């Protein structure tokens, strides 16, 4: 579902996501939760880790590639609580986290999600 969500993005965005690694884990780690000032592992469904494109420098190298994390158990819990289709929920989280890669605002991310197939 996550790969399909990325594949449905407009071509100009897909081409800039080539180096982003997509990972799925049951829950976020303590460090990941702390990075977004959260302590409840059931509340974090996705996370972008990396330097957004607008903040990168050509002089920097040797960094880990950017990653989009999806957290399976919180996603399943949200699916059960809301009744939103799982593929729609995964798509929403993937698009939101991909938006962080581009340095987008929440409004920009809504536009990007609406532009996906």
Please write down the HEC assignment for all residues of the chain: CHHHHHHCCCHHHHHHHCCCEEEEECCCCHHHHHHCCCCCCCCCCEEEECCCHHHCCCCCCCCCCCEEEEEHHHHHHHHHHHCCCHHHHHHHHHHHHHHHHCCCCHHHHHHHHHHCC
Does 20 map to a domain?
Answer: yes
Total domains, the chain = 1
For residue 49, give its domain range: 2-54+66-115
The per-residue pLDDT for range 63-76, each reduced to its tens digit, is: 788 999 999 999 99
Mean pLDDT (whole number) for 15-39: 94
CA-CA distance, 28 to 68, in Å (whole number)? Answer: 12
- What pLDDT score was predicted for residue 62? 66
CA-CA distance, 3 to 62, in Å (whole number)? Answer: 26
Does 59 map to a domain?
Answer: no
Does 102 map to a domain?
Answer: yes
Q: Provide the token pair at 44.
A: 């974090």
pLDDT at 33 over 70: yes
Confidence of residue 52 (pLDDT cuts 50, 70, 90): confident
What does pTM read for this prediction? 0.84
The per-residue pLDDT for range 60-107, each reduced to its tens digit, is: 666 788 999 999 999 999 999 999 999 999 999 998 898 888 888 777
CATH of the domain at 97: 3.30.2010.20
- What pLDDT score was predicted for residue 87? 95
């Amino acid at each position: 579902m996550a790969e399909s969500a990325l594949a449905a993005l407009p071509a100009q965005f897909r081409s800039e996501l080539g180096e982003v690694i997509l990972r799925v884990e049951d829950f976020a780690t303590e460090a990941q939760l702390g990075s977004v000032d959260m302590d409840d592992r059931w509340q974090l469904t996705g996370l972008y880790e990396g330097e957004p494109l607008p903040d990168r420098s050509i002089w920097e190298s040797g960094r880990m590639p950017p990653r989009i994390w999806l957290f399976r158990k919180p996603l399943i819990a949200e699916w059960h609580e809301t009744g939103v289709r799982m593929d729609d929920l995964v798509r929403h989280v993937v698009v939101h986290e991909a938006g962080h890669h581009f340095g987008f605002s929440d409004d920009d991310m809504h536009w990007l999600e609406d532009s996906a197939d």
